[in-house]
Structure 1
Amino acid sequence: MGTLTPLAQIAPSAQNQTALTRRQKAAIIIRLAVSHGAEMSLQDLPDDLQVDLTRILGDMRPITRDTLHEVVEEFAVELEGLGLTFPRGVAGALSVLDGRISPHTAARLRKEAGVRQTGDPWERIAALDPQKLLPVIESESLEVSAIILSKLDISKAAELLGLLPGDKARRIAYAVSQTSSVTADALDRIGISLAAQLESVPDSVFEQGPAARVGAILNFSTASARDEVLTGLDETDRDFADEVRKAIFTFVNIPDRIAPRDIPKVVRELEQADLVTAIGGAVSEQEKRAAEYVLGNMSARLADSIRDEVADLGKVKPKDAEAAMNAVVAAIREMEAAGELLLIAGEEDQDG
């Protein structure tokens, strides 16, 4: 570091390392680390501590090599003696446990402790799904909406813009051109305000949306009960009924939702008796279509063997057929949940 001036230039009454305050020593360590290219983020420190460290760095003067060595050695000794650190308060604990406890529990703990989400509010806003940002955009001024749009990834901003009515989308797009004069302070205040609004909206205690939950229930209902419920939903809320239809996956949806290459994988996970009963109990055109799709995408030898078993089985009772088809569906759903299978998303899935 070359020849350094005496430590007296830092503290008039001090000539060695022992006269330095802990914050001055911390400033020395930070300066040394940064000078060697270390990436250091101090944003999580309290504001007053960030201010103090900045001012101390500005006030410090060159120190001797011996003083530097003493400070580094003291720092190394303290570091070696440190076994484990813990976050301070509920806010820090929630940051450590982020993603490891349920959103519902985290929201309840924040509310009880009066803790808000930490970190850059814009990072949280930018990570949200466009559908969740849509109500915010619709309720905010054009200027704020333009700022939100400017802080999103290009693809997400384009998707969000596409969800808006054409006239409003054009006005917001034009308002983006007026955002060049927005100051950092204003941007920060807007981000904090928007994050606070989003925090005030309680996270759902359910892992799935309403349509997915109803669809999951109807998957294992009898065909007659499923048709009756869907008919009633059509009369009450056609849009919701359509969403439920998309969420439903039954035996007859197999040709539309499972790729041919995945059929052998599904067959390996099934009890052959269930598969034989489901195929033998296929009566409607849709059920027969699904049965032939399964048989047509497995090995020819296994398909012939199953056809022989179906012939030997004779007539299948509707109740037994439905139970077997539900068992096939349940196995497929378990594979999907385990990440072993990806269902094809279709806009016009049949509801059976």
Structure 2
Amino acid sequence: MADPAPSSSDTTSMPDRHPPSLRPAEKAAIVLALVTEKSLEKLKGRFPDIHRERLIEVAETLRRVGPSEQEAVLREFTAEVRGEGPLRGGTRVADRLASILFEDGDPMDDFPTMQLAFDPFGDSDPTIWDELADEKPDRLAGMLAEASPAIVSVILQHVQPEFGSEVLRRLEEKRANETMLHLAKTTISAAAAEQAVEDYLREELEKAGLAGGPDAEAILPVTEILNRLAGNRREEIIKALEAELPAPSVDLMKEQLLSFDALPDRLPRSAVPVVFREFDEKTVLTALRFAQDQGSGAAEWLLSNISQRLADQIREKVTALPSINPEDGEAAQTKVVCGILDRVTLGTITLISPAEAKES
């Protein structure tokens, strides 16, 4: 077995650029603006009509976006499509992105023309409705659990029908029925009523600590560091964060953490042989023995997903080891987790998401 930290011949990469602070609709407009006319033709009939007016409005008011921001938006777009979180890889990945998405070469060639066509001007701050678009239905439904049907109905008029139905489905049945009745009787909301609802939502979002987030991308740097710390040190830091951060942010952070004990839920069975084939043998044996000493089922789960012959050989070696002290055991398990995360970064392992793990 080799060292947990994989080697890579591709060491030249550009520093990660964070996407500019733009609304989702603005980012979508940028991506579409960079697409050639030939590629846009292929999207005919696939772009929902419900988004047409919003796209035109955003494109008309979009501010000028520099090349570095364009690249950052494209990187974020590709990461969202692939569902693998923030994109890494620098120039190599950017070139692959361009070759896949844009058949006619460099997508930047058309950007000056698109700028003139759109005649961008000014900035526009995100509204409360833009922020709601980034929320999850269950969290919004939780905030609206005590809201009046009048408030909920105004909100449903401002969100996409698919999103609104998900929120409504999570409300208590009586409140949902009253909301739909109110919505059926009220076709147009008065400006004063809409402003009151916006103020209500802003207050609720701020109380919940959700304004502008949280999202997995925002807390990714924290989880990446915590995932590489031994258990006791990690727990100390989490306690400190719990005392200062909003509960939703802490909960989302905890969902993204990967521990040795969580491998049965997060590591695909097909990736288990990689651990025994490529990782340092002494490190893996120590991690397994410590897991057994602690009564964790992770050790037996890992062994059950390799060949019986190899599993028996490893069990003999693990049994022959003396009891492992907590410091050495946690250090070994952390090295195994780090080795897995390194391969996730390289793209050779794809973890099961926390949401998928809950469903299974």
Normalised by the length of structure 2, the TM-score is 0.48
Instruction: Provide TM-score, normalisation by structure 1.
Output: 0.49
Q: Which of 1 and 2 has greater Rg?
A: 1
